[in-house]
Amino acid sequence: MSTIDIQLLRPAFHGQLFEPADAGYDEARQIWNASVKKHPSLIARCSGVADVIAAVNFGRTNNLLTAIRGGGHNVGGRALCDGGIVIDLFRMRSVYVDAVNRRVRVQGGATLGDLDRETHVFGLAVPCGIVPKTFIGGLTLGGGVGWLLRKYGMSIDNLLSC
């Protein structure tokens, strides 16, 4: 991927961009399973929805293999790719609670701990996993088994949209 291509992304992107030669690149590509050694051409650490849109459009325009990273806990290392772009949601951790309708909107980088902290204030709980450091996006899309499974089903069973 040429530098000129990345320069086209920079004006629309407010998060951090990491190329292989950049300081922080090796740290940015680390995931939970340290045996996974993939090397993306670009890591786009998003600061908000506009950054996600810009990164997706950049990947599509440049026909890049794309991986999405929430927390990077997948054993197989699916949060990374070789030679493509990683759209990193780690800094997008907001949780919005609609207590009246008993619904929660969560950004892709939020952990179960973030979710629990915000919902418990309203006396609510979400059927999800049991380890606070787990990221909600990957857990939910992978099914999501937790303490409330028998009564409310898996996390994915309670997903309204994404």
DSSP letter string, 12-45: G--SEEE-TTSTTHHHHT--S-TT-----SEEEE
Residues 81 and 30 in one domain: yes
Range of the domain at 46: 3-88
**Predicted confidence (pLDDT) per residue in 110-150, tens digit:** 999 999 999 999 999 999 988 898 899 888 888 889 999 99
Domain count, the chain: 2
**Residue range 3-7: average pLDDT?**
71
Q: Is 162 exposed, middle or buried (0-12, 13-18, 19+ CB in 10 A)?
A: exposed
Identify which has the larger pLDDT, 157 or 75.
Answer: 157
CATH of residue 27: 3.30.43.10
Q: Which of 52, 67, 88 is the last residue of a domain?
A: 88
- The one-character DSSP state at 10 is G
pLDDT above 80: residue 23: yes
Residues 83 and 102 in one domain: no
The pLDDT-based confidence of 4 (bands split at 50, 70, 90) is: low
Residues 106 and 36 in one domain: no
